[in-house]
Amino acid sequence: MPEGLSDEKTIQAIQENPYMQYLLGLPKFTEKPVFVPELFVQIRKRLDHEFFNLLTLLLSEADATKAKADYSTRSNEEDGVAHVLQKFCGVE
């Protein structure tokens, strides 16, 4: 996992950031944890590296200015979800 970006720290960052909570679809800001660390483990087990690459590609195709994805995620073994949150959401 990227240094300083454990599941617990990700949850804490979401807990402290109203913008992240809004992007996650929460109806209002809450100071309570919105996830438990075990959820990230379950997500990583169910969604593989190819899913995130496909998602990246679909999102870039939705943007008419891009012809293809310019970013490929890391694999589950390389903690791809945590890396994406760190890279694009500023989670430290």
Q: How far apart are CA 10 and CA 58, in angstroms?
A: 25
Q: Are 52 and 81 in contact (CB under 8 A)?
A: yes
Give 16 or 86, the one with higher predicted confidence: 16
Q: For 67-77, write each residue's pLDDT tens digit.
A: 445 667 777 78
Among 43-47, 67-71, 88-92, whose mean pLDDT is lowest? 67-71
**Beta carbons within 10 angstroms of residue 1's beta carbon:** 14
Cβ neighbours for 59, distance < 8 A, ≥ 6 positions apart: 69
pLDDT over 60 (residue 33): yes
**Beta carbons within 10 angstroms of residue 10's beta carbon:** 22
pLDDT over 90 (residue 5): no
Cβ neighbours for 77, distance < 8 A, ≥ 6 positions apart: none
What percent helix, strand, coil does the chain show, rounded to 5? 60, 0, 40
Statement: the pTM of the whole predicted model exceeds 0.75: no
Res. 62 pLDDT band, cuts 50 70 90 = low
